Amino acid sequence: MSDKQLIIAIDGFSSCGKSTVAKELARKLGYIYVDTGAMYRAVTLYCMRNSIIDADGNVDEPRLKREIGNIGVSFIYDQQTSKNTTLLNGEVVEDEIRRIEVSNKVSYVSRIDFVRAQMVKLQQQMGSKGGIVMDGRDIGTVVFPNADLKIFMTASPEVRAQRRFDELTAKGEKVTFDEILENVNQRDYIDQHREVSPLKQAADAHVVDNSHMTRDEQFAVILQLVEEAKAKK
Ligand code: DC
């Protein structure tokens, strides 16, 4: 591959396979991969551990605002495998942030404006030199509006719920399909309707609906888009 260091933004709904594609792409291109959802999950975990969020999702915003500057979110990145391990104030929380308890709360934290401002600033620093694949909800619209390639990924809620269900049960979590589907629908709604940086497709994004695509088919489509973006840069 050529040495043009692109910024590649991958946005889309939860559980539509963004991170799998983003990781695979970063590995293939020798780029860094950043999972921005993990950052919001880590902040949510901090809130849960410190009773800043209650069982109904109410956040003590004044307290979070005072503490946000002290919430360190970072990654250990393995270039060989593109595996990112998420750290919260130096502690590995990679598995904990994927649990359903965190998934159920994360939308209440990620909709807060000062939380987003802080995360966006960090994300822009991480991607400032290019050579990066970043996935999230607002990467092509807010974080890198001038990204070289913007992909908007989607799949039906049922397909996404089934994928997450398979993932969690494989890890031994006791969950039901209906519970997961409800979580997927609820997060879609909140992600699309929040006031700050709602999930929406950038005007210049390429839509990839993978409901009926294999991983290989999807990857081939995306690699083609990368080649086109390189040719334009
Ligand atoms: O991609 P994920 O499911 O791990 O994301 C977790 C949550 O964080 C999801 O509900 C939406 C939110 N999020 C966001 O608001 N902005 C991003 N750039 C990434 C994730």
Asked if the structure places residue 116 within a domain, the reply is yes
String of DSSP letters for 24-56: HHHHHHT-EEEEHHHHHHHHHHHHHHTTSB-TT
The pLDDT of residue 82 is above 60: yes
The pLDDT of residue 69 is above 90: yes
Asked if the structure places residue 28 within a domain, the reply is yes
- 96 or 190: whose pLDDT is higher? 96
- What's the CATH number where 115 sits? 3.40.50.300
Number of structural domains the chain divides into: 1
Asked if the structure places residue 114 within a domain, the reply is yes
On average, the pLDDT of the chain sits at 93
Which domain range does residue 159 map to?
A: 7-232
Residue % of the chain over a pLDDT of 90 = 79
Cα distances from 6 to residues 134, 154, 167, 187, in angstroms, run 11, 22, 31, 30
Could you tell me the two tokens for 168?
């969690």
Query: Ramachandran region of residue 15, left (φ > 0), alpha (ψ -120 to 50) or beta?
Result: left
Which residues have C-beta atoms less than 6 Å from ligand 1?
14, 36-37, 40-41, 106-107, 110, 136-138, 187, 191
pLDDT at residue 79, rounded to an integer: 80
- 228 CB-near residues (< 8 Å, 6+ apart): none
Asked if the structure places residue 140 within a domain, the reply is yes
Asked if the structure places residue 179 within a domain, the reply is yes
Distance (Å, rounded) from C-alpha 43 to C-alpha 40? 5
2 CB-contact burial (10 Å; exposed 0-12 / middle 13-18 / buried 19+): exposed
Q: Closest Cα to atom 14, ligand 1: which residue?
A: 137
- The beta strand positions in the chain, using DSSP E, are 7-12, 32-35, 73-78, 83-88, 91-92, 132-136, 149-154, 206-209
Kindly give the distance from the C-alpha atom of residue 111 to the centroid of ligand 1, in angstroms, as a whole number.
Answer: 10
The pLDDT of residue 169 is above 60: yes
Asked if the structure places residue 117 within a domain, the reply is yes
Asked if the structure places residue 2 within a domain, the reply is no
pLDDT band at 1 (very low <50, low <70, confident <90, very high): very low
Asked if the structure places residue 142 within a domain, the reply is yes
